[in-house]
Copies of this chain bind each other. A is one copy, B any other.
Amino acid sequence: MPDVKHFDPDAVLEQVERLFWRRGAATTGIAEVVAATGLSRSSLYATYGGKQDLYVKALRRYVERRSEPMFRTLTDDGRGLPAIAAFFDALIEARCTGEYARWGCMAANAHAEPADPQVRDLLDRHHGMLRAALRAALETAGDRLRPGLDLDATAESLTLLAYGVNVRSRAGADATALRRGVTAALDALRFTAP
């Protein structure tokens, strides 16, 4: 008997995600969301709740549908260091060119705004999954790594490096400089025959 929604909630959430990703949570008004989605305020509030709920849902979508697939690809790659290099290459490419150039990483960006507990959980999850993926890739690199390398600590250091790339790319950092930085970090991990 009831009426049904006249739009696809996930497709709209993707538009909202992109808006918050590009412009930030605090500086984006509901009026902009209405303009970007074409939805009315009624539909927005009935479907997603208030602005903070909407932001959390958009950030969750970002982590689950954008970050985690990349992390899974890295985890499952199996090539070791080349997998990590490919991950960073793709990251820098996405951050510096094309549609999302200078948007940074929505999760990294979220660190700057005062942290709602739900947001904090998502950020810790983002960090934890990236770290785990890098750790898995390092394990498969095996004896191509410097002997005696602390894999957990190295995974953490590469995770921090990725956050650095994400942050600086939003300010328009040069892709070549970022790539050189990443290459230097990865080269330092490599085993070099005496």
Contact B120 A111 (CB under 8 A): no
Residues of the B chain whose Cβ atoms lie less than 8 Å from the Cβ of A41: none
Residues of the B chain whose Cβ atoms lie less than 8 Å from the Cβ of A165: 160
CA distance A184 to B149 in the complex (A): 8
A contacts with B: majority SS:
helix
Q: Mark A109-150, 1 if CB is under 8 A from B, else 0.
A: 111111100001001100100000000000000000010011
Q: Mark A150-194, 1 if CB is under 8 A from B, else 0.
A: 101110110111111101101111000110111111011100101
Number of contact residues on A: which range applies? 35 or more
Q: Report A151 CB to chain B, min CB distance, Å.
A: 9
Contact A112 B114 (CB under 8 A): no
Contact A160 B178 (CB under 8 A): yes
Residues of the B chain whose Cβ atoms lie less than 8 Å from the Cβ of A171: 111, 115, 120, 123-124, 127
CA distance A128 to B112 in the complex (A): 21
CA distance A149 to B184 in the complex (A): 8
CA distance A156 to B167 in the complex (A): 13
Contact B170 A111 (CB under 8 A): yes
